[in-house]
Structure 1
Amino acid sequence: MAGVLDSFAGRFGRVEPRRTAAAFVTGLLSDIEVKTCWQLAEQAGHARPDAMQRLLYRAVWDADGVRDDLRAVIVDRFGDPDAVLVVDETGDLKKGVHSVGVQRQYTGTAGRIENAQVGVFLGYAGRDGHTLIDRRVYLPVSWIEDRDRCQGAGVPDEVEFATKSELAADMITAAVDAGVPVAWAAADEAYGNSSLFRAHLRQLRLGYVLAVSRSHLVPLDGGKVKVRADRVAADLPASAWQRRSAGAGSKGPRYYDWAWLDDVTTDADPDDSGRHSLLIRRNTSTGELAFYRCWTPQPATLAQLVRVAGTRWTVEEAFQAAKSQVGLDLHQVRRWDSWHRFTTLALAALAVLAICAANAAGEAEDDPSNTGLIKLTVNEVRRLINTLIIQPIRDFAHRLHWSQWRRRHQARARQSHYTRRLKLELQP
């Protein structure tokens, strides 16, 4: 844990916010259920939440700089020239209208349109492990067109509307420019259906395996005809399918049937000197199909493309761990800077778990005595950190002080709400 925290300690000009940041990340790793500034301050032994709130709102530090330092630590541990950058989005359900980027919009978290705030994230997956390395909050058009609303949430004036695929492309470009070792990109069909996103990856010379919809038009016969992806699959003979594993899952190898058309041409840039293909996955039990547009700067094998397609699920695992273990979705912040700061510190806590789990797995492989145990998961690593490192404060006076502080603060808030409502009712 110290290695991750030390990596960005220099981003804080004063010792107070530096210590608070370390306590903040430690609190995110703790076993407290709700991880707001109040609970994190109590866990850290503070008398009030002011220091934690100041860290997110007013303290002087660069969240993007911390992000860069954190990315360097992750690459130092998981760096792999054949690694995969995986992009995806996740939403946090909200009740109000003031949190930056919030509006009624579709989010996979709920599986429907809800009042939500959506963030686009970038994951890094190497052979030794994976975690999240970057983040962007998505601002809908309704926000960008309302500059007063943006100003109220602290959105910088230079921020313009960007689609989710543009945010993803921006994060991938930043990673490549920073020298992150990587050969591939993967994403679901929300990004794979974007021809501009695919073209951007080709300009970076990144191979990709991007999911596309079943109605996606596939250019065949030198681009002279375009056929729906599901129609292409329906016309394939039985001999076109091969059974291969997309990687190990919680219940063993994830076997699917795969078909590969390696003669697909691009309808966007026929002179990119790469190899375009269509990959089709069929569920062995249900027969459900999934489709992937693929491109590689050099010839690739079916095994390579299948591996990258299977790697996309690492971002889902990272989201689950980030939300269940370090409170990625438990923030109660509204402003632009606060969202990026909280999220960056949550990614730091997640990196601690991922690196500790990878280190433990490496030590187990070197140990000649096989105990019959599974590898340490991030969930179990967090339990051990809480048991062996984080010492919760159980002092009676401290707990009583916080109980009184919360009740006093809640009494003031209630009085304020009552006064405001009375004024509204008395207005003509």
Structure 2
Amino acid sequence: MAGVCEAFAGRFGRVEPRRTATAFVSGLLADIEVKTCWQLAERAGHARPDAMQRLLYRAVWDADAVRDDLRDVVVARFGDSDGVLVVDETGDLKKGTHSVGVQRQYTGTAGRIENAQVGVFCGYASRHGHTLIDRRVYLPVSWTDDRDRCQAAGVPDEVVFATKSELAADMITAAVDAGVPVGWAAADEAYGNSSVFRTHLREHRLGYVLAVSRSHLVPLDGGKTRVRADRVAADLPASAWQRRSAGAGSKGPRFYDWAWLDDVCTDADPDDGGHHSLLIRRNTTTGELAFYRCWTPQQATLARLVRVAGIRWTVEESFQAAKGQVGLDQHQVRRWDSWHRFTTLALAALAVLAICAADADDDSTDTGLIKLTVNETRRLINTLVLRPIRDLTHRLRWSDWRRRHQARARQAHYTRRLNLELQP
């Protein structure tokens, strides 16, 4: 943990916020039920939550600069020329209307339209390990068209509406410009269906395996005809399918049937100098199909494309670990800066777990045990490294503080509601 926090320690001009940031990351790794500023402050031994709240709201530090330092640490440990940038989004269910970016919108977290805040994330994956390295909060049009609302939430004046695929493209550009070793990009159909996003990746000469919808129109015969992806799959002979593993899963190799149509989907600039293809995955049990638009600067093999398609799932694993282990979705912040600061520190905590798990896996000795998981890594950190405060006086003082603060908040809410009801 010290190595990750030391990487961005210089971004804090004063020692107090620097120490608070380290305590914040430690708290996110700690075995506590809820990871808001109150709980993190109590865990750190603070008498009040002021320092933790100040770190997110008013302290002087650049969350994007810390993000860059964190990305450098991840690349130093996991960097590989055949690495993959994986982009995806995740939502946090919210109440009210004031949290930055919140509105009723679809989120995969709930599987339906809910009042939610959505973030777009970029993960880095290689044969050495994987974790999240970048983040953007998604602002719907209802926000960007209401500058007063944006100003109240601290959104910079220069921020305008951007689609999720545009946010993803921005993060990929930032990674490439920073010299992140990468050869591929992967994403689900929300991004793969965007021709602009695909063009952006080709401009960076990044090979890609991007999921597309079954209704996606596949350009054939040099773009002269367009056929639905599921229609293309239906016309394939049995000999077109090959059974291959998309990588190891918790229950063993993830075998699927794959069909690969090389040199199709050539609706792009003919001078891009690459190779376009369509990849189709079929579940061996249910027969369910998935479709991928692929492009490579040089000719690639089916095995490499299948590997990249399988790596896309690492971002789902990272989301699960980030929310389940380091409280990525437990922030109680409303403002633009606070969201980026909390999320960046959560990514730092996640990087600690990913790097520790990878370091433990470097030992090639056959112990008869499975690889150390991120979940188990956090348990060991709590057992061997972090020392929770068990002082009875400290716990009772915090109990009194919480109840007193909640009493004041309740009285303020009652007074406000009574004043509203008395208004003519």
| TM-score in same-fold range (> 0.5) | yes
TM-aligned CA deviation for residue 371 of structure 1: 2.3
CA displacement, residues 78-107 of structure 1 (integer Å, 9 cap, x when unaligned): 000001000000000001100000000000
Q: Specify the code of the residue in structure 2 equivalent to 1:12.
A: F
- How do 1:64-143 and structure 2 match up within 5 A? 64-143=64-143
Match of 2:416 in 1: 420
TM-aligned CA deviation for residue 269 of structure 1: 1.8
Match of 1:402 in 2: 398
TM-aligned CA deviation for residue 326 of structure 1: 0.0
Separation in 2 of the partners of 1:177 and 1:266? Answer: 28
The answer as to whether partners of 2:89 and 2:120 remain within 8 angstroms in 1 is yes
Separation in 2 of the partners of 1:107 and 1:62? Answer: 29
Match of 2:250 in 1: 250
1:54 aligns with 2:54: yes
Q: Specify the code of the residue in structure 1 equivalent to 2:359.
A: N
1:237 aligns with 2:237: yes
Separation in 2 of the partners of 1:422 and 1:184? Answer: 59
Separation in 2 of the partners of 1:96 and 1:425? Answer: 20
TM-aligned CA deviation for residue 270 of structure 1: 2.3
Match of 1:393 in 2: 389
Separation in 1 of the partners of 2:167 and 2:232? Answer: 31
1:377 aligns with 2:373: yes
1:222 alignment partner, SS class: helix
TM-aligned CA deviation for residue 263 of structure 1: 2.0
Match of 1:10 in 2: 10
TM-aligned CA deviation for residue 154 of structure 1: 0.1
TM-aligned CA deviation for residue 375 of structure 1: 0.9
Structure 2: segments with no counterpart, 5+ residues: none
2:401 alignment partner, SS class: helix
TM-aligned CA deviation for residue 224 of structure 1: 1.1
Match of 2:19 in 1: 19
TM-aligned CA deviation for residue 266 of structure 1: 2.6
Cα RMSD after superposing both structures: 0.6
Structure 1: segments with no counterpart, 5+ residues: none
The answer as to whether partners of 1:220 and 1:263 remain within 8 angstroms in 2 is no
- How do 1:13-412 and structure 2 match up within 5 A? 13-363=13-363, 365=364, 367=365, 370-412=366-408
Q: Specify the code of the residue in structure 1 equivalent to 2:420.
A: L
Q: Specify the code of the residue in structure 2 equivalent to 1:341.
A: R
Separation in 2 of the partners of 1:265 and 1:278? Answer: 7
Q: Specify the code of the residue in structure 2 equivalent to 1:394.
A: R
The answer as to whether partners of 1:279 and 1:291 remain within 8 angstroms in 2 is yes
CA displacement, residues 202-242 of structure 1 (integer Å, 9 cap, x when unaligned): 00000000000001111111211111100100000000000
2:270 alignment partner, SS class: coil
Q: Specify the code of the residue in structure 2 equivalent to 1:118.
A: V
Separation in 1 of the partners of 2:38 and 2:44? Answer: 10
1:20 alignment partner, SS class: helix
Q: Specify the code of the residue in structure 2 equivalent to 1:391.
A: R
The answer as to whether partners of 2:265 and 2:278 remain within 8 angstroms in 1 is no
CA displacement, residues 141-167 of structure 1 (integer Å, 9 cap, x when unaligned): 000000000000000000010000000
Identity percentage over the alignment? 87
TM-aligned CA deviation for residue 43 of structure 1: 0.0
Separation in 1 of the partners of 2:221 and 2:414? Answer: 71
Count of residue pairs the alignment pairs up: 424
Separation in 2 of the partners of 1:257 and 1:91? Answer: 32
CA displacement, residues 9-36 of structure 1 (integer Å, 9 cap, x when unaligned): 0000000000000000000000001000
CA displacement, residues 320-350 of structure 1 (integer Å, 9 cap, x when unaligned): 0000000000000000000000000000000
1:208 alignment partner, SS class: strand
